Structure formats: structure tokens, C-alpha cells
Structure 1
């Protein structure tokens, strides 16, 4: 194997596992620490991540995903066949450039906060209509800096179509997809991976649709690396090896589910754990390692047969089987299938309701205590007044 090609394969693997690893940990939500009303409340800082909306995929969504995916894929195939490819890519790039700015801003802000440790006060923006909240956002100066940088990077990509800039967009999309998309259970995840297993086989081996769309679609929906050189010359002179974002995000949200399951098991045993506590990541490690093995298998088969391979053909079974084997070994197979992200949401709501109830009880106690003090004071004043009157009468 040529050195350049080996470097390309290693680069693809790195760009695949990076977003999965960091996106999985970014998807973890720690329970908020309950604070007494008497304790001083610190100023809010960097709370934007906590307010991001997480989209949860249900079992019904998992069944329909391959169906809608097939409809979209075949529609794109027809569009590229019937319409001018340059015009279609112009519209597609405009859309993805807008999404890219948002994704790059989120990724940039996350990296600055987590790798530099810089904290910044959060500013909240709320849009309401007749006391009804329509939209709410929270941002910091870190987000503003990342947004400005994202604008420049997007402009550079639009003008040059440089593959490195395209990869940055792809990595940002993958990271945010894994961070903000969640599976509600392992059953849903297995159905999704199983459905896309057959989806990938049909559209890659059965038709030319998948390969045609992947080659025609000039948008950052894949990560690429040149086969022979580092890639400082024009993109037209390069031959690339590529990996679709779907082969990163779909298994990635399943790997993230494994990490949240590890986290849930830890919190059940350690309910008072804080955000900076480390916890065992048995299922995550198992599934993450299986993903890497599946990805390497895909690349080896692709290189051997010199033909495009449906990555999910190898990734889906690897991820599913790794979790099942780990569950059997640890005797937690029932816990795996009983686990639901709804349980976490319920626990969070119960914690929140309990905090509110405790705050109300504490407030009522303070009010009663104040009333008792006021009543006691009034009685004391009345007794003093009566004493004075009695003393005056005795003197008379």
C-alpha cells in the first residue's frame, strides 16, 4: 500500500472517531445541583449548552428513517439527472453554508470552553408574543467570536471550495448531530441501525444511485482526504477517498447512547455525583472500539476489491453486537432493554419539581416565622402598654 493512501485512510478514521468521541461526551446532561434559597446565587455563565434543544428519535422514527432516506436519496438522484448540476449545487451550497455557520459557531464555542477553560457570562435573548415565549437563546462573547470566525471560513469555502474547509463543515455537522440527536432506547437504536444496514446494501450494491449522488453532491456532507499528496494544489488535480457523514452520525448517536447508559448506571449508584466526576464507560468503550474495528474492516474491503462499500454493512452489526455481548457478560441485558432516555427526563423533572417545592416550603417557613415574630412583637407592645396603664392606675 502506498504511503499517501495509508495516510488518507488514517485521516478518514481520525475524522470519523473524533466527532463521535467528543459529541458523545457533549451529549451528557448532568443533573443540576439543588441549591438552598439562603445560599448566594452565582452569576450565570456559559449556560447555553444546557438550554439547547435535544431531538429524540423514537421507535416509530427509526422504522420510517430508511423509508424517508430512500425517498430523499432517489429524489436527489433524479434532480441531478434532470436538472443542471451546477445550478442545483449552487442552491445546495447556499443552504449548507447557512447551516454551516451555525454548526461551526457551536463547535468553536464548545472547543474554546472545554479546552481553554475560559468562562464567560451568558446573555439571554427571549422572543415573546402576548406573554407566550416563541424563541429563546443564550450566548456568550465566546459564541460571538466563533460566529465571526465562522463567517470568514464560510466565505472562504464558498469562493474556493477548498476540501479542508469542506471537512471543517463536515466535522461540525457530525459533532452537532451526535450532540443534539438522541435515541430514546437501545431498541430504537438497533432498529435504526438494522434498517439502515439493508438501506445501505440496496442503494450501494443494488443501484448506482448512492455513488452517483455522493459524487455529484458538491456540499459538505462527507469528509475527504487526497489519496497521494497532502493536498496543497488545486482540488481538481487531486483524487480523494471519502466517508459520508451518515456513516459517522448514525453509529455515533448509538455510541453516545451507550455513554449515556453508562452515565445513568453511575448516577443510580452515586446520586450526589457532580459534573466533574469521572464514571465507568464500559458500554461506550465497547461500542466505540467496535465502531473503529468496523470502520477499519470497511476500508480494508474497499481497498482490496477497489469498489465503494456500504460502511453500515460493517458498522451496524459491530455496534449492535458489542453492546449485546457486553450486556451478557455483565448480566445487564435486561437493564439495556429497559433503559429509556425518558427516564432521565422524568428524573430531571422530578428533581426540578422537588427543588421548587422545597423552595416554596422554605419561603412559607420564612413567612410564618416572620408572621410569628411580628405577632410576638405586637403582643409584647400590647403587654407593655397594658402594664403602663396598670401602673398608672395603681399610682392614682
Structure 2
């Protein structure tokens, strides 16, 4: 009978340090590069607007992003709590093997899209630097002259999609932890790049709400830890607690960090970088795509995130218990921005800043509400006209009825007179 391998305390300690360093690297890399990927070309107000057709075919066009508003920030912890508790109930009353089969298939498909996009973003600059020209294809689906779907892609997308499908198949078949981490990092990169906060108010409310959310679900209940252990999908980054020195055939024990602890602070750090771009762009309208501008808020918030993450791991290591990372990350990110704003005398600019995506989303929402109001007003006017016609018709019918009632006795009298005369 083979004896069970028991590592020495020194080996366990060193293994944990390696795991913490690896988790930290897998957290800060997506935040750093995702923040720069979220930057859009600074538009000079004096430049003439391009025509819609020219803009859609331009190689310099930015990808569309989803802006999170103040209302979204308020509701995010609520919907997050409902989803988390729902998953807890599902894992409790349904065989987790079947649930994880479904989740594996779902995240396998998402993983293909995420890794394809990240792969193209990594390869495209190299191809461009080498001087290879890649043709762009534009696929548009329409129905009765109405656009249903539009997509632009190159041969790089097709190559990376094939590679992503192969990797997804490998992950689904083996559940390899390295493939899972690749998917997790790609998810984080895409989320930080495409999800944007419209203002610092929204970001601070979101971080504050999730600060309370994390405390309640980690310290107040067993729900968060239970779901994290049972949820077998690439929604976290993991690393073996003992990577070096583990005998062949021995199962790994993993340390983990949830993607929420990367993405949520990450979009706030990205907001800081866009604010730095805004401050420079207002002084230098010809900034364009240059990233050579002062980055005080981004640097402060990024360093604060690293310090907050290190504090999380230190407390977790000291007390040997799971810690809600946002308990340390949320205050660190918020306080770094407030401190920098006070030091630089720009606290007013911090709270009045609205991102370009936020402005566009607000305009789109206002236009949609105006369209609804106009439609409702038109319907009300149509209804009023119809009711007015109905009232007029009713009055005419009533008038005609009164006339008939007045004319009937005279007719009877006349007929009666004739009959009496005849008699």
C-alpha cells in the first residue's frame, strides 16, 4: 500500500507564496491591458464628422462598448444576490454533475468567442507591424431593408476561432486548470474592455454595493463559499497550492480568485485611465490614439488595487479562512481616487465627469424616451379624434331620433283627421 504524500510545512508555505504570486499576476495583467484596450480615440471637437458609411468601413473604428449607468449600479448587487442564491439552491437540490455539464457547455461556447477576440487583439498589431495587409470582410443580415445583424471579421478571426474551438474542446474533455485559466483571463480582458462605467459616482456606488454584498454572502452565510467550490466553470483563476515538488499522480489542491474580484475593480481602474485621457484631451484636442499622457488617477488606483489584493491574501493566509476580496479592494480603489482628487484640487472634476460612452448612452436613452412619448402622444391624439368622431356620430343619431319622435304624433293626427273626415 502506497503511503499518502504529506508535504513539509516549509514546502506548503513556499507553495502558497508561489500560488499567491501567480493569482496576483493573473489579476493585474487583465486589468492593466484591459484598461488600455478600453481607451477610444480622442475626438477633436474641431474635426468634421465622418459620414456613416465612411465610419463603418474605417480601420480606425472603435469597438462598441456597454455603458453601466447609476441605476444599473444600484441594481447590480440585487441581481447578483438573486443569481448567487439561485445557484446555491440548484447545487443543493440537483445533482451538481448535471448542472456542471450544462455550465461547461455554456462556458465552452463563450470561451471560444472570448479567446478568439483576445487572440485577434494580440496578433493584429504584430501582423500590422510586420506589414502584412489583411482584408476585412463585412457580413450583414437584413430583413425587409432592416438590419438584423452586422459583423466585421478578417482571416485572423477565422484562424483564431479554429484554435479557440480546439482549446474549448480540450477544456471540456479534460477540465485542465491551465485551459480554465486561459478562458478566465480572456473573459476578464473582454469584460474590462467592453464594459464601461459612465461616471465615478456610478463606480463608487457599484463598489460600495458589492462591498456589502461580499461581506454578507461570505461572512453571513455559507452560500458564496459553497457555490465557489461546486461551480466547475472558468469564472475564477486558480493555481496549485503546491506546484513544485508534488509527486506525479498526486491531485492538486488549488487556491482561487473569482473573476468578479478582477473585473469589477478592473472597470473602475479603466475608468480612471479614461479620466486621465479626458483631462489631457481637453487641453490637447489632437491627442488621438496616443497613450503618452499623464496617468495620475490610473497609477494611483492600479497601485491601490495591488495593495488591496495583497492585503486580502495576507489576511487569508494569516487566518486560514476565505476572505471577501472586495472588502479590501473596494475601499482601496475608491479612496485612491478621492485622495488623488483632493491632492490635485480636481475633486469637482472627478464627480462631474461623464464618459463619452455614458453621454452617448444617455442621448440614446433620451431619444428612445422621446420616441415613446411621441408615439404615446400620437396614440392619444388618434384616440381623442376617434372619440370626438364617436361623440359627433352619437349626437347626430340622438338628434335624428328626437326628430323622429317629434314627427310621429303629427303624422298620426293627420291620419286620424282623414279617417274622421271619411267617416
Whether TM-score is above 0.5 comes out as yes
Q: What's 1:20 paired with?
A: 31
Asked if 1:188 is matched to 2:199, the reply is no
d(CA) in 2 for partners of 1:11, 1:238: 15
Q: What's 1:149 paired with?
A: 163
Retained in 2: the 8 A contact 1:298–1:309? yes
Retained in 2: the 8 A contact 1:46–1:139? no
Distance verdict in 2 for CA 1:161–1:234, change over 3 Å: farther
d(CA) in 2 for partners of 1:143, 1:195: 38
Tell me how far 1:235 sits from its aligned partner. Answer: 9.2
Asked if 1:30 is matched to 2:44, the reply is no
Alignment counterpart, residue 219 of structure 1, candidates 226, 233, 236: 233
Alignment counterpart, residue 61 of structure 1, candidates 72, 76, 82: 72
CA deviation string 1:58-94 (max 9, x = no partner): 1111010100000000000000000010000000111
Distance verdict in 2 for CA 1:234–1:176, change over 3 Å: farther
d(CA) in 1 for partners of 2:55, 2:257: 45
d(CA) in 2 for partners of 1:343, 1:75: 32
Structure 1: which 5+ residue stretches go unaligned? 350-396
Tell me how far 1:123 sits from its aligned partner. Answer: 1.3
CA deviation string 1:166-201 (max 9, x = no partner): 000000000000000000100000000000000000
Distance verdict in 2 for CA 1:230–1:219, change over 3 Å: farther
Which 4+ runs in 1 deviate beyond 4 A? 32-37, 41-47, 230-236, 342-346
Tell me how far 1:314 sits from its aligned partner. Answer: 0.1
Tell me how far 1:35 sits from its aligned partner. Answer: 7.6
Alignment counterpart, residue 149 of structure 2, candidates 135, 142, 162: 135
Retained in 1: the 8 A contact 2:139–2:152? yes
Asked if 1:179 is matched to 2:190, the reply is no
Distance verdict in 2 for CA 1:171–1:87, change over 3 Å: same
Retained in 1: the 8 A contact 2:42–2:285? no
Q: What's 2:253 paired with?
A: 239
SS in 1 for 2:28: helix
Q: What's 2:107 paired with?
A: 96
d(CA) in 2 for partners of 1:120, 1:330: 45
Q: Please say which structure displays the higher CA radius of gyration.
A: 2
Distance verdict in 2 for CA 1:344–1:30, change over 3 Å: farther
Retained in 1: the 8 A contact 2:22–2:239? yes
Distance verdict in 2 for CA 1:241–1:42, change over 3 Å: closer
Retained in 1: the 8 A contact 2:43–2:285? no
Say what the alpha-carbon RMSD is for the aligned residues: 2.5
Q: TM-score by structure 2 length?
A: 0.76
Alignment of 1:1-396 (within 5 A): 2-31=13-42, 34=47, 46=59, 50=62, 52-115=63-126, 117-118=128-129, 120-230=134-244, 237-342=251-356, 345=359
d(CA) in 1 for partners of 2:64, 2:187: 16
Tell me how far 1:279 sits from its aligned partner. Answer: 1.0
Distance verdict in 2 for CA 1:318–1:112, change over 3 Å: same
Q: How many residues align?
A: 343
Retained in 1: the 8 A contact 2:67–2:357? no
d(CA) in 1 for partners of 2:343, 2:258: 33
Retained in 1: the 8 A contact 2:84–2:223? yes
